[in-house]
Structure 1
Amino acid sequence: MNDNLKSFLDQKVGQYNRPEFIANDPISIPHLFTKQQDIEIMGFWAATLAWGQRVTIINKCKELIALMDGAPHDFIINHEEPDLKKLLHFKHRTFNDIDTLYFILFFRQHYERFESLEDAFVPAGTPKNWGAEDALNHFRSYFISLPDFPNRTKKHVSSPSKKSTCKRLNMFLRWMVRKDDQGVDFGIWKRLKPSELICPCDLHVDRVARKLKLISRTQTDWQTALELTQNLRELDPLDPVKYDFALFGLGIEERWGIEGILPDFVG
């Protein structure tokens, strides 16, 4: 891998992986909390709702927090049936009240048995070679396993087994697993290593990565996310997904034309 490319992307990581990044990104939502369960719940919800304009995503998440009285975990564990009525009008794009109520049911059932949502992705006693793909496939099976699962809610939780890039869930795992001294990602989960994460591959990251020749695969699916991540591991084997900051940041700058911001060596 080109040393110039590594240097260029490392510089972009430094530019975007900093506290100033938080305010205008959906990761600002879990950063509103200090209790681990609240961070997990609203981190997962913010990642799930992360499509469309970032301002709208953040506002919808804040609306949801207010509907749960500012304390998501406490509301989920202790609510009574009448408390759910105020959530019946919550909607963001194709995410509606049916999905909202199932999410609350799922979280309640889970947190009645476990302290952390990490157990939903990496159960205790899993093999040492359990990676992100295993975690995502397991989570989807677990998530849809409740008897009252509404079929329409499946579309909000992807998995590698369905050949999805799992962009939003990979972003959520990055938030929970990556840890450095910059204070953006939380790093509160320990059963997965940062080296095992898969880079979130959204439209902007995909386009920039192709310009940088980090993706050669024609279609965009789970294998594409794996290809991108493997190339990023050549730049940093221990923390390849830190380059999500660089690729996403370049995607933001692209509004002025990416050709004008890429260095000459890209070609």
Structure 2
Amino acid sequence: MTHSELKSFLDEKVTQYNTRDFIDSDPVQIPHLFSQKEDIEIAGFLAATIAWGNRKMIIKNAHRMMELMGNTPYDFVLSHQEKDLNDLESFVHRTFNGQDFIVFVKGLQHIYKNLNGLEAVFAQNQEPLSMQKSIHEFKKLFFNVPHTPRTQKHISDPLNNSAAKRINMFLRWMVRQDNKGVDLGIWKSISAATLSCPLDVHSGNVARKLGLLHRKQNDAKALAELDTQLRILDPNDPVKYDFALFGLGVFEGF
């Protein structure tokens, strides 16, 4: 395929999969439950945090997270009592357990009470073509509350050579204004041009088959390679191609 043929093919797949039908089978449906900005952010962040494994189980457990917070995540984060946190102890999704959930609620409370919220924290360290430093700095600020070391593994650090798939997916949800009703686009202080593709086994395999990625591991170096190629295809909205790569991998077995 020539460059122009590849772009046309991927643009067509973006159009095919970046539709409201995508929401029904994706964890992005969780932030779509809410209308208040802070509820959307917190619901999206928590849903993205547990977004690994079986997609139906991810969605079921993300709904459970919201139920445990009284379906008012922002109010719960700001105003919870100690007894409310006890109710979270029963939660488990793979290796993310109730104690992790409690730490995340406390980390979010710190972010909203002391640092002006998630958008402000991510926006303050963005670079012209990268959110990787921003994610690294966010992790340090988020865990500036009492926590066990094991809980830190649930937020990846791209400066430690992680592709940080889940955080990059969360940022896509919050930043991209796609006018298709999937990504929510509620953050105005971060440009879609800075976003990175949520690189996972599906998108990585498809990218390799299409010649967009040559590195074998799905790590930060592979993400940088893929980002470079996607920014050539669309410098203003490179991460839209996540829909094409993911759709080709998951729905078409490309």
Question: For residue 209 of structure 2, what is the amino acid of its counterpart?
Answer: K
* Equivalence for 2:176: 178
8 Å CA contact retained: 2:126, 2:190 = no
Deviations 1:132-166 (CA, angstroms, capped at 9, x unpaired) = 112111111112222x1210111100111110000
Q: Work out the CA distance in 2 between the residues paired with 1:253 and 1:95.
A: 27
- SS at 2:92 equivalent: coil
Pairs within 5 Å for 1:40-51: 40-51=41-52
8 Å CA contact retained: 1:175, 1:185 = yes
- The two structures have a TM-score, normalised by structure 2, of 0.95
Deviations 1:55-86 (CA, angstroms, capped at 9, x unpaired) = 11111011111111111111111111112221
Q: Work out the CA distance in 1 between the residues paired with 2:126 and 2:245.
A: 32
Q: Work out the CA distance in 2 between the residues paired with 1:194 and 1:236.
A: 11
- SS at 2:218 equivalent: coil
How many residue pairs are counted as aligned between the two chains? 253
Say whether 1:157 aligns with 2:151: no
Question: For residue 134 of structure 1, what is the amino acid of its counterpart?
Answer: K
Deviations 1:183-208 (CA, angstroms, capped at 9, x unpaired) = 11111112221111111100000000
* Equivalence for 1:264: none
Pairs within 5 Å for 1:208-223: 208-223=206-221
**1:211–1:128 Cα change, 3 Å:** closer
Q: What residue ranges of structure 2 are gaps of 5+ in the alignment?
A: none
8 Å CA contact retained: 2:127, 2:133 = no
Structure 1 residue 114 displacement after superposition: 4.5
* Equivalence for 1:169: 167
* Equivalence for 2:53: 52
Q: Work out the CA distance in 2 between the residues paired with 1:85 and 1:139.
A: 26
8 Å CA contact retained: 1:131, 1:192 = no
Say whether 1:74 aligns with 2:75: yes
List 4+ stretches of structure 1 deviating above 3 A. Answer: 126-131
Deviations 1:87-114 (CA, angstroms, capped at 9, x unpaired) = 1110000001110110111111221134
Q: Work out the CA distance in 2 between the residues paired with 1:48 and 1:166.
A: 10
Question: For residue 220 of structure 2, what is the amino acid of its counterpart?
Answer: W
Say whether 1:132 aligns with 2:131: yes
* Equivalence for 1:198: 196
* Equivalence for 1:141: 140
Structure of greater Rg: 1
Question: For residue 181 of structure 2, what is the amino acid of its counterpart?
Answer: G
Q: Work out the CA distance in 2 between the residues paired with 1:134 and 1:128.
A: 8
Q: Work out the CA distance in 2 between the residues paired with 1:88 and 1:200.
A: 29
* Equivalence for 1:12: 13
8 Å CA contact retained: 1:29, 1:58 = yes
* Equivalence for 1:263: none
Pairs within 5 Å for 1:60-99: 60-99=61-100
Of stretches 178-187 and 243-252 in structure 1, the one that deviates more from structure 2 is 178-187
Of stretches 27-36 and 220-229 in structure 1, the one that deviates more from structure 2 is 220-229
Q: Work out the CA distance in 2 between the residues paired with 1:163 and 1:127.
A: 18
Structure 1 residue 51 displacement after superposition: 0.7
Q: Work out the CA distance in 2 between the residues paired with 1:244 and 1:145.
A: 32
Structure 1 residue 219 displacement after superposition: 2.5
Question: For residue 64 of structure 1, what is the amino acid of its counterpart?
Answer: M
Structure 1 residue 254 displacement after superposition: 3.8
- The two structures have a TM-score, normalised by structure 1, of 0.91
* Equivalence for 1:25: 26
Question: For residue 40 of structure 1, what is the amino acid of its counterpart?
Answer: E
Return the match for 1:241 from 239, 243, 248. 239
Structure 1 residue 120 displacement after superposition: 2.3
Q: Work out the CA distance in 1 between the residues paired with 2:11 and 2:105.
A: 39
The percentage of counterpart residues that share the same residue type is: 47
Question: For residue 144 of structure 2, what is the amino acid of its counterpart?
Answer: S
Question: For residue 173 of structure 2, what is the amino acid of its counterpart?
Answer: W
* Equivalence for 1:262: none
